[in-house]
Structure 1
Amino acid sequence: MMKLAVYTGMWRGELFRLKWKDLDFERGFILLDDPKGGVSQKIPMMKAARELLESHSRTKSPYVFPSQNGGQRKDVRGPIKRIKERANLPKDFRPLHGLRHVYASMLASSGKVDMSTLQKLLTHKSPQMTQRYAHLHDDALKKAANVAEDIITDAMKDDAEKEIIQLSKHR
């Protein structure tokens, strides 16, 4: 469940409600039925998520991550507590929400995903919800601009050196 959270950015409740029928392996999408935003929508299933889901044990339950009785899971406090203790994570660390944040932060800071696409991947109803990641996107853009500056500066130095060499040959 935690791996799927970081592979998809799904909310905790979306993971709990996820059913096998919601997985479209053929087209590579996951249907989020009754998501936090209210309107059902689909998100892409990356290769790692597909492999994880295909290898995940199936039970008679319709849920991908069922509770012990096969119904819809309501919480993961017990397993999460054990994971946090073994990993020496802070007691207030919220893994599923934290992994969603990691997913969003990695995409925003990559500079390869525009904020509108990130909004759709995170299933945010409004752009304002996604804006909390905008500073990471801006940082990525600044880094890219710095790379461009370095390349242009180096090219100009090379051109200036070539011009000096040409001038010295004519003397």
Structure 2
Amino acid sequence: MKLTDAKINDLQAKDEEYRVKCTKAPGLSIKVMPSGRKSFIVDGRIKGGRTRRFTIGTHPSLSASDAREKAQHLMSMMQRGEDPKEVRLERDAIKAMQSKTLATTFKEFLSVRNLKPKTVKDYQGTLNTVFAAWLNKPINKITRKDVTDLFVDTRDNRGQATAVKAFRILSAIINFAKADDVGGVRLLTENPVDVLKEKRVDRKVRQRDRYLDETEIEKLMQFDLVERTFHQKPTHGVSDQGMNYVMLVLFTGMRKGEVANLKWEDVDFKKKTIVARNTKNGSDHYVPMSKMIQWKLETQKKVSDLKGSAWVFPRRLGDGPMTEPKSQLARICKATGIKFRLHDLRRTFATHATRAGTSYELIQKALNHKSGSVTNSYIIGNIDMMRPVFDTVFLAYSKMYLDDEDYERLLDPEGSHEIIE
């Protein structure tokens, strides 16, 4: 019979469910449950494919005429070879994808990218400060104007470097979202951060070029080897560990995190090498010991052994490596009158290695800069090739600190060690 609202109302519940087909709309029927609930059902076959059954609504919430219209739409789709279920799932997926917020997309970004914990923390801090107001905003609703306005606001109130870094991170997250598609339909077809490039917005960050000159290196070594060591009542508050850490960065050129995360199992006093694991460029970094590096590590071993730690620079409380010694660095700067950052010491290493005649390629390897050269893979086997770089820097620094007579004694292998001690 033709299903109408009146006829459906007359249908009575029975002990078992039953169905009544509609003669006006092929595939449509009404199912009556023992409870009295009445549901519209559509049965059909996809052209050249499988059968499908859909519950499209309940009566009287859905009228008979509306049910016939929905049934005709579904049957037409199946006759065209379309699967209404797949179409619905695809539509829902597109809707869900289009409602993804910046926070949700960032979470997915982190789950896929293999980022170091420090990088993750840095990214999270940036999003929670610069993009706090956008976290719950659908990512496809971030406009080019939004980007331009917030970049300018961030630059003017937080600084150029912060703005450049923040929008570099945002661009990476949006590029990640651009790769998503449902059935060939992409959530995003452009990255709104590109507007900064197209408008030629200045995104240059002045590179720091600070390094310690000869006088400053002399002051730092004088403080470490004389004033700090022999002062009877020190008031500077600089610890042995804090000083050893700073001097290792100065004499190795290693990144601050590479030094902080050293383990004693990666220090070989016999072969006179140390190995930094899990470095920024993903490779192990082998560093030969100069005399000063060896002496500092031997000194630090005594400090570390007091805690029985596996870490070269253990944290003060609990197990694990220490974090960046900001308070110790501040005390060293105050005691010496030299204002510097830890990364300035890495730059100092490179600068004085260059001035001493070391080639650019060797300095690159000594600093563990990433390079596409296949020769990088042979650095472990050619560790002795790197040793002169670190010895050269040691001698260059020593010449700034020692008088001519002591420096000549340093060049004598038999007398070199007692100069340090």
Match of 1:67 in 2: 315
Match of 2:369 in 1: 124
Residue 87 of structure 1: how far off its partner (Å): 2.4
Match of 2:325 in 1: 76
Select the structure that is richer in helix: 1
Residue 73 of structure 1: how far off its partner (Å): 1.2
RCO (CA 8 Å, sep 6+): is it higher in 1 or 2?
1
Please state if 1:89 is matched with 2:89.
Answer: no
Please state if 1:105 is matched with 2:357.
Answer: no
| Cα distance, 1:55–1:85 mapped onto 2, change above 3 Å | closer
Please state if 1:39 is matched with 2:286.
Answer: no
Q: Aligned partners of 1:84 and 1:124: how far apart in 2?
A: 28
Please state if 1:5 is matched with 2:249.
Answer: yes
Secondary structure at the residue paired with 1:86?
helix
Q: Aligned partners of 1:83 and 1:52: how far apart in 2?
A: 17
AA matched with 1:30 = I
Match of 1:26 in 2: 270
Secondary structure at the residue paired with 2:333?
helix
Residue 67 of structure 1: how far off its partner (Å): 1.1
Displaced runs of 4 or more, over 3 A = none
Secondary structure at the residue paired with 2:249?
helix
Residue 108 of structure 1: how far off its partner (Å): 0.8
Q: Aligned partners of 1:34 and 1:7: how far apart in 2?
A: 21
Q: Give the share of equivalent positions with the same residue, in percent.
A: 33
Q: Aligned partners of 2:270 and 2:338: how far apart in 1?
A: 38
Unaligned runs of 5+ in 2: 1-244, 373-421
AA matched with 1:28 = K
AA matched with 1:66 = P
1:88-132 Cα deviation digits (max 9, x unpaired): 334xx31x2111111111101111x111111110000038xxxxx
Q: Aligned partners of 1:6 and 1:88: how far apart in 2?
A: 17
Unaligned runs of 5+ in 1: 128-171
Secondary structure at the residue paired with 2:280?
coil
TM (normalized to structure 1)? Answer: 0.67
Secondary structure at the residue paired with 2:275?
strand
Match of 2:60 in 1: none
Q: Aligned partners of 1:27 and 1:18: how far apart in 2?
A: 16
1:118-165 Cα deviation digits (max 9, x unpaired): 1110000038xxxxxxxxxxxxxxxxxxxxxxxxxxxxxxxxxxxxxx
AA matched with 1:8 = T
AA matched with 1:26 = K
Secondary structure at the residue paired with 2:287?
strand
Q: Aligned partners of 1:52 and 1:16: how far apart in 2?
A: 14
